Amino acid sequence: MSPTITPQLVSLDADLGPDKAAVIRALAARVVAEGRATDADALFADAWAREEQDETGLPGGIAIPHAKSSAVTEPALAFARLAPGVDFGAPDGPADLVFLIAAPADAPEAHLAVLSKLARHLMQEEFTSGLRAATTEADVVQLVLEAIGEAEPATTPEGGTGKHAAPSAAPDAHSATAASAHAGSAHDIDGRPARIVAVTACATGIAHTFMAADALTAAGKANGVDLVVEPQGSSGYQALPQDVISAADAVIFATDVDVREPQRFAGKPVIRAGVKRGIEQPRQLIEAAIAAAGDPAAERVSGSAEAAASATTARTESAGRRIQRILLTGVSYMIPFVAGGGLLIALGFLLAGYEVTENAATIIIDNSLWNLPAGGEDLLLGSLGLYLGSVAFMIGATSMGFLVSALAGYIAFAIADRPGIAPGFVAGAVAVIMNAGFIGGIIGGLLAGFVALWLTRLPAPRWLRGLMPVVIIPLIASIVASGLMVLVLGRPIAALMEGLTNWLNGLAGTSGIVLVGVILGLMMCFDLGGPVNKVAYAFATAGLASASLDNSTPYLIMGAVMAAGMVPPLAMALASTVLSKGSFTAVERENGKAAWLLGAAFISEGAIPFAAADPLRVIPASMIGGAVTGALSMAFAVESLAPHGGIFVLFAISPVWGFLAALVAGTIVTALAVIALKKWVGRRVDDSVATSQPATVAA
C-alpha cells in the first residue's frame, strides 16, 4: 500500500486561493492528480459538506478538512503550507497549515486512524514547528509519516534525531515554564498549585476528545496547575482514581455529550463548556475553574459527597453485588419498553376486543382513518375502535418485542458502557430467535458485556481507540456472545424455558398456583423496590412477551405481582392516617397522605419512609399482607394485561372485583399487623424524637 502522503501531495508556501473553498478544491485536485481519487469535484463536495457541518479550523493556524468519498480510491493526506493564510473558522485567525484527509467511502478505518493520529500530533508544538520549518516537500513527508506511524524516525550519524531535532526540547521548556509558574503563581490555592480534574468528550470520541485533553494538559503545565484529564472516547475511558477527584479543587467538563458516571464528581465546583472550547481556550477554562473553586455560589456537580463515595464503593464491590447491580441496570432500562408496550396492548384490547391479535397487522397496513376496516359493529367505537385498537396493539407488540433485546443490551451496557450496547442487543435478539426467552437474554447480555469489557481493556494505541467501538468490539463481541447462543447455549435454555412455562401452565387452575402467588407476594413486599422486588417484577413482565389468550398464566402472574406490590404503601397510608394515627409520628402521618396515591399507582417505594424508620415492624407486616394478596389474586384468577399503573389500568384487569378484593384484604391485614407490632412488640419511640428521624434517613 502506498504511503498516505507523498511529496507530490505537499504544497509549500503556496497561494491556493482567497478562501477555504478554493484551498480544499486545490488540495482535492492534487489528490486526483496523484491517482488517489477519480473526481476532484466529488471529493470537494464531500469535504465541503463536512466543513459546513462544523468548521475544521483549530487554534495555532491549523485546519483539518476531511471527508469519506466514493471518489477516493486510496487513502490520502494532502498538505499545504499557505502563504498567505486562509480563514477556516478558528478563533485566533487564518490557518497556514492545512491537511486534507481523503478516505474511501467504504474504508472508515483508514479515515479514523489517520484523523486520530494526525489530530493528536497537531496539538504538539514540536510537530507544527517542524512543519513550518521544513524546507522541502520530502521533509514534510518524513515528519508526517513519523507522526502517523508509517515511518521510523530519521537519525543523524551522532545518534540523535534528524532535521527536526531542535523542537524536541519543547517538553523540557514546558516543564521549566510550569516550574517557574509555580513560584508566586496567581493559580495557587492555599499556597499550593491549584488541583483541577477535567473530562473531555465529543460526539464521535475520536479527534476532538483527545485534542482537548492534550490542550488542557499543556495549558495546565504552562500555568503551574496540577491538572489531570479523563478523555472519554468512543471506545471507553480510563476513569480517574477517586482519590484524585476527591483532592481536586474544581472540575472542567469540556464535552459535547453527557459525562459518564458524573456522580464521581458530586459536590465539586464545575465549569461546563463544549469540547472545542477545550481546544481553543484551555487557559480560560482553567482560570474559570480556579475562580469557581473560591466562589461559594459557583455551580457544582449535582449530588453529594456520599454520592461520590458510592462511586468509589461501586469500583470495589463484591462479585455478587456487581452481578446484582448489572442485572438491575438491565431491568431498569427494560421496564419502559414493557410499561409502554403493555399499556398499549391493553388499550388495543379495550378498543378492538381480544380478537385484535388475529388481524391487527393486516388492518393497519390495508386501512387508515379515511378508509376504516369493515366490522367492529359490537365495539364501543365501531370500525374506528377496531382501527385505533389495531394501531395501539401493533405499536405495543412492537415495543414488547424489544423486551429481551433491551434487557440484554443494557446488561452489557452496565458491564462495558457504550461499547457493550450493540453486541448486547444482538445477543438478545438471537436469544429470541432461539426461543431462549429472557433467561437467554440475561446470559447473552452478560456474555456480550464481559467480552466487550475485555476488548476495551486491551492496550490499544490511542489512534486505534476510535476503531474499537466502530468495528472491532461489535464484530468480536457479537460473534462470541451470539455465536455461543446459537451453537451451544440456545437450545438448552429454550428447553429450560419451555419446561418452566409448562410447569406454570400446569399449576393454573390448581392449588399450586396459589403457592406461586404467595411467593411472589412475599418477594414484592420484602424490600419495597429493591433487588428482590425487582426480580419478581422482572419475572412477571418478561413473561408478558409470551402471553396469549391460549397461554394466560403470565397474565395471572402479572396480576398477582401488581396487586401485592400495591399493598405496603396503601397499608401504611391506611394505618397512619385512618386506623391508628397515634402509632405514627407527625412526619409519618404526612408521608401516609402521599402513600395513598403512590400505592394506588403501584409504586411500592411509597412505603420506604415507614420501613426506613421502623424496618423490623413494617417489612414483616408488609410481607404478610403481600402473601395474602398474592394468594387471593391467584385464587380469583385475576389477570392483568398491563405491567404497571395500579387502579389506573383497571380496564386491563379481569376480573376487577377479584383484583380489588385481593388488594383490600392484603392492605387491611398489613395495616392491622403493623399497628399490632408497634403497640405490643418493643417500645415506640417518643414522638418528639422520632419526628426528625425520617427526615434524616431520607436525606
Q: What is the pLDDT of residue 32?
A: 93
How do residues 330-364 score in pLDDT, each as one tens digit? Answer: 877 877 787 777 778 778 878 887 777 778 889 99
pLDDT of 693 reads: 38
Q: What is the mean pLDDT of residues 410-420?
A: 85
Q: Within a 10 A sphere around the Cβ of 696, how many other Cβ atoms?
A: 9
449 and 583 inside one domain: no
Last residue of a domain, one of 451, 470, 497: 497
Cα 227 from Cα 16, distance rounded (Å): 40
Least confident of 2-11, 122-131, 174-183: 174-183
Tell me, yes or no, whether 372 lies in a domain.
yes
pLDDT beyond 80 at 314 = no
What was the pLDDT predicted at 154?
A: 57
* Assigned domain for 178 exists: no
C-beta of residue 286 within 8 angstroms of C-beta of residue 252: yes
Q: Examine the domain organization and report whether 475 and 557 are in the same domain.
A: no
* Catalytic (active site) residue 182: no
CA–centroid distance for 31 within its chain: 40
Mean pLDDT, the chain, rounded, equals 80
CATH code for the domain in which residue 37 is found: 3.40.930.10
pLDDT-derived band at 174 (thresholds 50, 70, 90) equals very low
- Structural domain including 152 reads 7-164
pLDDT in tens, 476-488: 999 999 999 999 8
pLDDT at 316 over 60: no
Helix, strand, coil percent values for the chain (each to nearest 5): 65, 10, 25
Range ranked top by mean pLDDT from 235-244, 501-510, 632-641, 689-698:
632-641
How confident is the model over 368-394, as pLDDT tens digits? Answer: 889 888 887 777 788 888 899 899 889
Distance CA 208, CA 201 (A): 8
In terms of domains, do 305 and 331 share one? no
Tell me which H or E stretch contains 12.
strand 10-14
Whether 482 and 380 map to the same domain: the answer is yes
Strands (DSSP E) found in 331-473: none
**What share of the chain in percent tops pLDDT 70?**
82
Q: pTM for this one?
A: 0.52
Cα first-last separation, the chain: 63
Last residue of a domain, one of 287, 314, 341: 314
Residues 480 and 531 in one domain: no
Other beta carbons less than 10 A from residue 444's beta carbon: 36
Task: Looking at the structure, tell me whether residues 281 and 205 fall in a common domain.
Answer: yes
At CA 490, angle to CA 484 and CA 491, rounded to 5? 130
Residues 477 and 421 in one domain: yes
Looking at the structure, do residues 347 and 456 belong to the same domain, yes or no?
yes
Residue 284, all three cell numbers:
480560560
> Is 512 a member of any domain?
yes
Contact 233, 112 (CB under 8 A): no
pLDDT for 55 equals: 79
Angular region, 261: left φ>0, alpha ψ -120 to 50, beta rest:
left
Asked whether residue 306 falls in the same domain as residue 341, the answer is no
Counting Cα atoms < 13 Å in the Cβ hemisphere of 307 gives: 13
Catalytic annotation present for 111: no
From 268, 293, 314, the end of a domain falls on 314
80-128 pLDDT, tens digit per residue, is 999 889 998 887 889 999 988 887 876 544 445 555 677 778 778 888 8
86 belongs to a structural domain: yes
How many domains does the structure of the chain reveal? Answer: 4
**Rounded-to-integer distance, Cα 254 and Cα 243, Å:** 21
- Using DSSP bridges, classify how beta strands 95-104 and 76-86 pair: parallel, antiparallel or unpaired: antiparallel
Q: Which residue has the cell 481523503?
A: 102
Does residue 502 sit within a domain? no
- Whole-number Å distance between alpha carbons of 547 and 588: 40
Same domain, 464 and 336: yes
Helix (H) or strand (E) holding 252, with range, is: strand 250-255
- Please give the grid coordinates belonging to residue 135: 524546507
Which residue of the set 66, 121, 164, 187 is catalytic?
66
Report the alpha-carbon distance of residue 639 to residue 297 in Å, rounded: 54
Residues 12 and 140 in one domain: yes
- Which candidate in 111, 164, 187, 202 is catalytic? 202
Same domain as 680, residue 592: yes
User: CATH code at 257?
Assistant: 3.40.50.2300
Among 128, 275, 149, 148, smallest CA distance to 209 is for 275
pLDDT of 25 reads: 93
Residue 174 lies in a domain: no
What sections of 636-686 are H helices per DSSP? 656-680
CA Rg value for the chain? 32
